Copies of this chain bind each other. A is one copy, B any other.
Amino acid sequence: MRPVNDAVKQPATVADIAERLGAILDGDGHRAVLGVSGVREARPDEISFVSSSRYAADAAVTRAAALIVPFDWDRACPAALLRVSDPDAAVAQVAGWFAPETPAPALGVHATAVVGDGVRMGEGVSVGPLAVIEPGVVLGDRVVVGAQCYVGYGCRLGDDTRLYPQVSLREHVRIGQRVIVHNGTVIGSDGFGYQADAEGGRAKVPQIGTVDIGDDVEIGANVAVDRARFGRTVIGRGVKIDNLVQIAHNVFLGDHAVIVAQVGISGSTRIGARAVLAGQAGVVGHVVVGEGAIVGAQAGVTKDVPAGAFVSGYPAAPHQRAMRAQAYLAKLPEMREQLRTLERRLARLERTAKA
């Protein structure tokens, strides 16, 4: 099954695209273009791009019909060249022309959705097929609840917020305006809290708080955000959360924080505004990562991180120091050899001294 781009908005040649872009065409303008792709994946009926000569090797073997390149590109390339001042911007523009169209969500409540009593909806709301909206929910204007979503009792979603299919919101979750939540994400599950008893068993500590999500937040796929033990788990304005992230109970994410895929943040930890946690990093509970701090990929944060700091490694330490430790580690075999040499020279000297 050869995938066919079935939604091209218009047939186009390389020359057509050069003209629409205002690019300088260098090479064969007659080939038909059906889509846009990466320089290494591109098929003969696709257009691609390289932003700098760093990708000269890829450009030299591309199968693309044409490559968008910077004005001063001087490397060999089997494809036609479209010279522009800003290749990144140009390819984004072309990609938009070829993007397969997807219909907007249908307005209104799908006949198969199950909507409880006392649900209030603003204007222009879309509730997809087989969604469940429990009683007491409030949906702002133009909210989209995707197919098969679950919106628990008493949740409130602000204007223009969109849940993709199969999102789960437990009861009493509050979400601001213009928030996007991707498929499979769970918001408001119970926090992980137990009281150990004498026999080694654990009694569940009730998790009776909520989750409060600010405006302009985006949350990726299959994320888990726990509700607070009491009070609120808080996700500040403009926060961006990638896929498969774990946010424990009572965590506080400051405005515009960026949480990359598979990060885990333990209970009651505070992440400062505009801080960035790179992929697979972890933070223990009850600490503070300061404003604008950067936590490196896979770092394990075990104590407070000052504002603006850049930490990495486990336990996380200032990145420069961690890198230096790594460099020294590489020198250990040599140091051990030096020790042995010194020992031999010293022993010889000692023998001489005694003699």
Which residues of A come within 8 Å of B, CB atoms? 1, 3, 6-7, 35-38, 40-42, 46, 48, 91-92, 95-96, 98-100, 102-103, 110, 112, 114, 128-130, 132, 135-136, 140, 146-148, 150, 152-154, 156, 158, 164-166, 168, 170-172, 174, 176-177, 180, 182-186, 189-190, 192, 194, 200-202, 204-206, 208-210, 212, 216, 218, 220-224, 226, 228-232, 234, 238, 240, 242-244, 246, 248, 250, 252, 255-256, 258, 260-262, 264, 266, 268, 270, 273-274, 279-280, 282, 284, 297-298, 300, 302, 313-315, 324-326, 328-333, 335-336, 338-339, 342-343, 345-346, 349-350, 352-353
Contact = CB atoms under 8 A, between A and B. Distances in A.
Contacts of A273: 200
Given A1-B177, A165-B150, A182-B190, A339 B335 contact: yes
A102 B3 CA distance: 34
6 contacts: A1-B158, A201-B238, A201-B256, A221-B226, A261-B266, A329-B329
Given A153-B102, A329-B325, A345 B352 contact: no
Contact of A132 (B147, B150, B279, B330): B147
A335 B333 contact: no
Contacts of A146: 150
Contacts of A152: 102, 165
Contacts of A206: 92, 96, 99
A132 B140 CA distance: 25
B300 A300 contact: no
Contacts of A177: 1
A242 B264 CA distance: 11
Given A224-B220, A261-B192, A315-B326, A266 B279 contact: yes
A183 B150 contact: yes
Which 4 pairs from chain A and chain B are nearest by CB? A95-B230, A37-B231, A99-B208, A224-B243
A285 to B, nearest CB: 9
Contacts of A222: 184, 186, 222-224, 244
Contacts of A268: 38
Nearest to A95: B230
A146 B239 CA distance: 30
A284 B297 contact: yes
Nearest to A199: B256
A37 B338 CA distance: 56
A209 to B, nearest CB: 7
A172 B255 CA distance: 33
Q: Which one of A147, A152, A250, A328 has the highest number of Cβ atoms from chain B below 10 Å of its Cβ? A: A147
